[in-house]
Amino acid sequence: MPKLTRGIDAGFAEVFKTTVAYELLHKYPDELFLGIRNNYINIYYRGLSICKGTVVSGRFEGIIAKRYLDLEASAGYTDISPGALVQHYKRIKKNIDLNYAPKNKEKDAQQRLINNNNANNKSEWFCIDMEYKKQRASREEKDPGRFDIIAITKARPHRVALIELKYGSGAIGGSSGILKHTQDYLRFLQASEFENHLIPELADIAQSYGMLIPQDSFMQTAVSADAYCKKPEFYFITLDSVENRTRQTMLRYIKNDVPGAAKDNVRDVIGIDITKENEADFTPVFLFAEGNGDDITDIIGDSKYIPGFD
């Protein structure tokens, strides 16, 4: 077997499948999401990791933020066994529901979109990862950026969607707004990271999923790097739209020829118009939807999405 760049091996999978934490994933597929990392996993609830786990000497070991177990606890992490995760699952959920999910609406919506989409057999997409952190191009690169959601099509050749989620107009500007993500995406494209890193990593993740969670036949073809399209697709999804206001806010941070254009708009800072084809070959799709994502069961193709720039 070739060396994994992002995934778990068969030994890890066999150990994890014997734990009650694995059973928990299958018992609550609408609540939990399994993130495959490099030799470890993350179990997410409402966009927050409630167990970062690895296998050491044939035994599964996990950690969790102390405050998810006890709201009065100090910051930091503590060990949690699969049995303890199951035993305290209701308490963990309650603590997150009351104290953390309301403060992290974007992460909450992010996992909601993923779980709803993956439960929908009619969706052409499968969300294979969330909170994907890109590799550093060099030691000097302090912030390589990350993708909120990565989805692949079930049909071969597998198209790859790199998705950035924004919850409301307040998330469009600022230090983690559209400009920052555009800069991250452009660096990603220019460094040929898609072909050299992401495709092999997606193949590893698909292989790991295939060992852990039964999927449709498409997952078997996704384990081959040759089965992927050679260019990614980019999407900005904005939830909680209010009439046309959110779309107009988006435009103000992208273009410099609209009323009230932001000083740090993409057109002025980078020099390209990403609402149409450009020399940087980066033309993302902008999608908008009302609410917090509860009604969306197809992350990209759902009819409730409204094209943002006609």
Domain segments of the chain: what residues? 1-103, 105-310
pLDDT at 216: 66
| Angstrom distances, CA of residue 189 to CA of 2, 129, 257 | 25, 19, 26
pLDDT at 142: 56
Judge whether residue 98 has pLDDT over 50: yes
Which residues in 263-283 are b (16+ Cβ under 10 Å) and which e?
A: eebbbeebebbbbeeeebebe
- Among the ranges given (99-113, 143-157, 203-217, 292-306), the one the predictor scored with the smallest mean pLDDT: 292-306
Q: pLDDT-based confidence at 271, cuts 50/70/90?
A: very high
Judge whether residue 303 has pLDDT over 90: no
The two beta strands, 48-56 and 59-65, are antiparallel
pLDDT at 12: 96
pLDDT at 217: 74
pLDDT at 146: 82
Judge whether residue 263 has pLDDT over 80: yes
Judge whether residue 308 has pLDDT over 50: no
The string of DSSP codes covering 115-162 is HHHHT-TT-SEEEEEEEEEPPPSSTT-S---EEEEEEEESSSSBPEEE
- Among the ranges given (4-18, 75-89, 140-154, 225-239), the one the predictor scored with the smallest mean pLDDT: 140-154
Judge whether residue 174 has pLDDT over 80: yes
Q: How far apart are CA 117 and CA 123, in angstroms?
A: 7
- Calculate helix-pair angle for 245-254, 178-190, nearest 10 degrees: 50
Judge whether residue 213 has pLDDT over 90: no
Length of the chain: 310
Q: Per-residue pLDDT tens for 112-126?
A: 999 999 999 999 999
- Mean residue pLDDT of the chain comes to 89
* pTM summary value: 0.92
Average pLDDT over residues 126-132: 94
Instruction: Report the percent of the chain where pLDDT is more than 70.
Output: 90
Which residues in 194-223 are b (16+ Cβ under 10 Å) and which e?
A: beebbbbbbbbbbbbbebbbebeebbebbb
Judge whether residue 3 has pLDDT over 60: no
- Among the ranges given (92-101, 180-189, 222-231, 233-242), the one the predictor scored with the smallest mean pLDDT: 233-242
Q: DSSP assignment, residue 7?
A: S
